[in-house]
Amino acid sequence: MLSLDLTGKRAFVAGVADDNGYGWAIARALAGAGASVCVGTWPPVLGIFQRLREKGRLDFSLEQGGEWDIEKVYPLDALYDTLDDVPTELADDKRYRGVEKFSIQEVADALEADHGSPCIDVLVHSLANGPEVSKPLVETSRAGYLAALSASAYSLVSMVQRMGPLMRPGGAVVSLSYLAGERVIPGYGGGMSSAKSALEGDTRTLAYEAGRRYGIRVNTISAGPLASRAAKAIGSIGNLVEYYEQNAALPACNTADDVGRAAAFLCSPLAAAITGETLHVDMGYHAMGMIAGDQLTNE
């Protein structure tokens, strides 16, 4: 019998701030397959996340029963590659007060110090931000556009560049994309559609370069919409979910756990020959060329 077994593997999941999004669902699925899971959390929400964890307010249940826990939480701001890139004025930002070593390189160094090298088998990029996401692309500023690409696409390149050397051969990298990287999604603006296009293109190139250099695989999941706290920055997220439920090939919207399980598969030996792929986990919505209209039903 085939089994999805990640026992003895360590995963680092970047972009977990609560138990409501795709990052948490992926961490949960990896833990359910036996992996130990470390997470990277944005410094401004790190304190809140840690307090929720300490008070037992996060859902650590596993689908198959039992519970899991995070091996370690690292502060991570993927806008900054090294300490030298962190602006001095950030020291006066109360949201970062008391938080140190949160650039990508510093987190990589902390992982190596804590666990040795190599120490990572799975690297998950669940990071996206566009400060002008509510603006149409034609109204987006240069700064807003570049910020979206920096946070949502280049951060993957930087993470692979700095954490790839810590990964064991046969390891896997997974990121999260969205259909807006391929097609027009009105309301998904501010350069975020461009960032997702870049992410998918970089996935293919990194699959080759990191595959040859580090012996690892790189894939991305194009997930359907999820009404998470982070996604509420897109005012139409509820409408998107409803639209998918009405018009996807399977008339429903995927859940966070659907994406978590797909990510666990891509990170497992069962997917050893899959790299450079954009895997759609969206109930087949991406395959549709027009609205479904009258649904076909079994009679």
- The 10 Å Cβ neighbour count of residue 40 is 28
Question: Are the CB atoms for 21 and 256 separated by under 8 Å?
Answer: yes
Cis peptide leading into residue 87 (ω within 30°): no
Predicted pLDDT of residue 21: 94
- pLDDT for 120 equals 98
**Cβ neighbour number for residue 184 with a 10 Å cutoff:** 9
Catalytic residue among 74, 80, 145, 178: 178
What is the side-by-side order of every strand in the sheet holding 10-14? Answer: 72-75, 36-41, 10-14, 120-125, 167-177, 217-223, 278-281
SS3 label, residue 124: strand
- Residue 96 known to be catalytic: no
Query: In this structure, is the dihedral angle defined by the CA atoms of residues 279, 66, 41 and 7, taken in order, positive or negative?
Result: negative
Give the whole-angstrom CA distance, residue 6 versus residue 267: 8
Mode of pairing for the β-strands spanning 120-125 and 72-75? unpaired
Q: Which of 31, 23, 19 is nearest to 64 (CA)?
A: 31
What is the reported pLDDT for 132? 97
**Local confidence pLDDT in tens for the 299 residues of the chain:** 788 999 999 999 999 999 999 999 999 999 999 999 999 999 999 999 999 999 999 999 999 899 999 999 999 999 999 999 999 999 889 999 999 999 999 999 999 999 999 999 999 999 999 999 999 999 999 999 999 999 999 999 999 999 999 999 999 999 999 999 999 999 999 999 999 999 999 999 999 999 999 999 999 999 999 875 555 555 566 788 898 999 999 999 999 999 999 999 999 999 999 999 999 999 999 999 988 866 555 54
Degrees, nearest 5: CA angle 15-102-119 = 75
Domain ranges across the chain: 10-287
d(CA 113, CA 16): 22
- Paired tokens of 229: 């706290």
Annotation marks residue 188 as catalytic: yes
Quote the Cα angle for 127-133-136, to 5°.
145
- CATH H-level superfamily of 10-287: NAD(P)-binding Rossmann-like Domain (3.40.50.720)
Cross-strand bridge partners of residue 73: 39
- Report whether 70 contacts 9 (CB < 8 A): no
Instruction: Give the active site residue among 188, 214, 244, 285.
Output: 188
Instruction: List residues bridging with 174 in a β-sheet.
Output: 124, 219
pLDDT of residue 20: 92
Among candidates 12, 155, 166, which has minimal Cα distance to 81? 155
Which pTM value belongs to this model?
0.95
